[in-house]
Chain A
Amino acid sequence: MDEVLSVAFLTSVLAAAIPAGTAILYACLGELLCERAGVLNLGVEGMMLMGALGGVAATLWSGSVWVGTLGALLVGAGMASIHAVLTVGLGANQVVSGLALTLFGGGFSAFLGQDLVGRPVPATFGDLAVPVLADIPEIGRILFRQDALVYVSYALVPLLWLFIGRTRAGLRLRAVGERPEAADAMGVSVGRLRALYVVLGGALAGVGGAAISLGTNPGWQEGMTAGRGRIAVALVIFAGWNPLRAALGAYLFGGVEAGQFRLQGAGVPVSSFFLNMLPYLFTIAVLVLATREAARRRLGGPAALGRPYAREERG
């Protein structure tokens, strides 16, 4: 019991929080881009699962984690392009299409992955210590002894933040999500941009899947993302569509997940069922708080989120 309060215990929880949160972070950043463009994609869970499987398969085939990650990325993008065709191209309902994608991804990955269950992957992302930084006490252990995908995400978060807020392309992205008719009238190709960001979002969800199947839990297991894709969708709201806050939220979840395992390990007398509930209770709490804050600051999502755009349609 005492060890729960020690610095070493805390450091180890935090160090585990980062990789656990990274898978969620990728998926969350992808969904964030997609939503900023005005498209809701509830298929993140399905895309992550397919990505996780694709990552394992491509690594088995090539022997390289990087080829594996690329495979996961392409599979995620491929799944998302179904959503793009249905919702952006044909104006189908985004909620229905997204939910269908989640169901489809779950079932299809289980079917395709039957023979891969339990097969060890020849290569996984191992921890790399960053020279100098890794030696900072505690901080070094938490932040700089992680795997390569974690370091890529460290870079991705500020880059996306800059991209959305400070570049011309980011301005167009926000415009198609806020007011597609205005963007269209000003010569921005709304459909093409929306499709692009849906696919990019799927690619990131795929990488999120690989962060699990090639990183934290190497190998393929049916349903191995365990709801992280759904949490990622919820987190976008908590993040207020801001990549920096998305990182904060993802690591918070990583922390809940890591803490849960470690508390069990430390023999804290709490039912494991209760601990398993924690991430979801936390999701609900976070959503309630975030929504209240958003209402108070009159800060909503992209105004056209979920609304299909067709040029000659009125009202």
Chain B
Amino acid sequence: MIHDERSPAIEMRGIGKRFGATAANADVDFVARFGEVHALVGENGAGKSTLMSILAGLYRPDAGTLAIGGRPVRLRSPREAIGLGVGMVYQHFMLVEPFTVAENVLLGQERAGPWLETGAVERELRELGERYGLAVDPRAPVWTLSVGEQQRVEILRLLHRGAKILILDEPTAVLTPQEAAGLVRTLRGLAADGFCIVFISHKLDEVLAVADRVTVLRRGRVVGSVAAAESDRRSLARLMVGRELASLVERPAEEPHEAVATGEPVLELAGLRAEGDAGRPALAGIDLAVRAGETVGVAGVAGNGQRELAETITGLRRASGGRVRIGGADATNRSPGEIARAGVAHVPEDRLADGLIGGMDLAGNAILRRYRRPPLARGPFVVARAVAAFADRLLKEHGVAAPGRRTRLGTLSGGNQQKLLLGRELAGEPRLIVAVHPTRGVDVGATEAIHALLRAQRERGAATLLISEDLDELLALADRIAVLFEGRVMGIVPAAGADPERLGLLMAGVDGGGVAPVRRVAVAGG
């Protein structure tokens, strides 16, 4: 490999890091070079974010040495790391939302003069943006930007600081397919310019497409480092998990669906309207029905009403017009509690904001839906033994990697939080499941498990509204796919034999002529 002749940008040797009883990293060696895109993969909780946070100066290792650009260093803070040209785009963005783009870029930079002058920075950002395909308005306040744009700000900010080593922690998890493709182009361009890029992702196709080398972590240890060109999904997955994964042999996207559901309608939306956070209309009259045993996918570019749709159905947002009926009964503007008791499970987009409580332990989070009823409740009391049993079973059934039920939820890796949330929501045999990006940030093994769970629920007769930006996921799980654009349903297409191109057009707001779907036989092994 030519890359091996390039000078090493990062050399981590024997890195160890513990959090209480958890060994997040143990004896990790990691080497990446200038001019390469180096992917870091592994299951949820494998220690990827921890390792990179050490490199970025945010965490201090308990053991091991670190060299950057050939020089041994000890990092005491992110500031020192940035000084050495190492910058990280974190899984949760590190932007100050009320600040403008330029202000965020200026934050922490040494510059002459006491005044806050953004003119020069704005110009520099425009130039950088043009050069690397990262266009964004430097004067826009960050909270007005889409997630994809915010990510561009993160990258621009590091480039502007003169970072030569860029670490991106699951950058594509929150992007639309189009945005992800753009990001991949940007990263390849940067590598060609001599940057060293470290790229964490759970999407193995994407990893193989963008990376030169792939290092695999399992339970805090390196289990392999291979050239992307000499590897494939299957062998990577085997390294990550330590066993063979069924779904990776045959792509789930190509599994055909059996009979179309004929059950009673469980969710009926009629002319549903709601306003977004900024008070602008977000849902402009949605008509949609989901039957028992049916999964309806909702596709669309982020910000076209998906979140508001889920929130309005589950009672977290007021409907300003129209009706929601659940199981034939009117549920418009009922409280979230009433709706949940009507048998609705909710997997929200932002699990820490709307689904879980970071400061509470796992057991507390596990019982949130059922602590009011026996066997967990007896009169006003919660039965500790029953809670422990329930929580332990949930953790075990769903393979949540955690020291135990007393662990604080916030310390879990994102994927493990998601497994717990799904386990809790599906435990009550709901008749309607509203799931928003259920596998975002979740590793391949867990994605497989979550898909299996959702399929089992469908078979059991649950109605599912699955909101996702991952077309493969929708095609794999849904019976019909509704495309949202600017708060309206642009079209509803049967998933079997759906044409991704037509879906793409609908997502862009182009009505491909008539509502009848253009059927086409899938070419590759369909």
Give the segment of A168-176, A249-257, A260-268 that binds chain B: A168-176
Residues of A within 8 A of B58 (CB): 184-185, 311-312
Q: How far is the CB of B45 from chain A (nearest CB, A)?
A: 12
Residues of B within 8 A of A187 (CB): 77-79, 82-83, 108
* Beta-carbon contacts under 8 Å, B391-434 to A: 408-411
Residue A315 at the B interface, CB < 8 A? yes
A168-B106, A171-B107, A187-B108 known; A315+B78 contact, CB < 8 A: no
* Beta-carbon contacts under 8 Å, B57-83 to A: 58-60, 77-79, 82-83
Cβ A315 vs Cβ B411 within 8 A: yes
Q: Mark B448-487, 1 if CB is under 8 A from A, else 0.
A: 0000000000000000000000000000000000000000
Residue A181 at the B interface, CB < 8 A? yes
Q: Mark A176-204, 1 if CB is under 8 A from B, else 0.
A: 00110111111111000000000000000
* Beta-carbon contacts under 8 Å, A231-256 to B: none
Residue B88 at the A interface, CB < 8 A? yes
Give the segment of B94-102, B247-255, B258-266 that binds chain A: B94-102
Residue B103 at the A interface, CB < 8 A? yes
- Expressed in whole angstroms, the Cα–Cα distance for A85 and B101 within the complex equals 34
Residue A276 at the B interface, CB < 8 A? no
Residues of B within 8 A of A167 (CB): 114-116
- A residues contacting the other copy or chain, number (CB 8 A): 27
- Expressed in whole angstroms, the Cα–Cα distance for A171 and B106 within the complex equals 9
Cβ B358 vs Cβ A315 within 8 A: yes
- Expressed in whole angstroms, the Cα–Cα distance for A188 and B358 within the complex equals 26
Residue B359 at the A interface, CB < 8 A? yes
- Expressed in whole angstroms, the Cα–Cα distance for A171 and B107 within the complex equals 7
Residues of A within 8 A of B116 (CB): 165-168, 170-171
Residue B90 at the A interface, CB < 8 A? yes
A167-B115, A179-B95 known; A185+B78 contact, CB < 8 A: yes
Q: How far is the CB of A46 from chain B (nearest CB, A)?
A: 30
Closest to B53 in A: A312
- Expressed in whole angstroms, the Cα–Cα distance for A296 and B56 within the complex equals 40
Cβ B94 vs Cβ A185 within 8 A: yes
- Expressed in whole angstroms, the Cα–Cα distance for A185 and B58 within the complex equals 7
Residues of B within 8 A of A184 (CB): 58, 77-78
Q: How far is the CB of B520 from chain A (nearest CB, A)?
A: 46
User: Which of A179, A189, A312 contacts B94 (CB under 8 A)?
Assistant: A179
User: Which of B94, B106, B115 contacts A181 (CB under 8 A)?
Assistant: B94
Cβ A315 vs Cβ B99 within 8 A: no
Q: Mark B228-266, 1 if CB is under 8 A from A, else 0.
A: 000000000000000000000000000000000000000
Cβ A185 vs Cβ B88 within 8 A: yes
A contact residues vs B (CB 8 Å cutoff): 165-172, 174-175, 178-179, 181-189, 298, 303, 311-312, 314-315
B contact residues vs A (CB 8 Å cutoff): 19, 56, 58-60, 77-79, 82-83, 88, 90, 93-99, 103-104, 106-109, 111, 113-116, 157, 277, 352, 358-359, 408-411
Instruction: Provide a sorted-by-A list of 22 A–B residue pairs whose CB atoms are within 8 angstroms.
Output: A167-B114, A168-B115, A169-B114, A170-B116, A172-B108, A174-B98, A175-B107, A182-B95, A182-B104, A183-B108, A184-B78, A185-B90, A186-B82, A187-B82, A188-B79, A188-B108, A298-B277, A312-B58, A312-B59, A314-B410, A315-B358, A315-B410
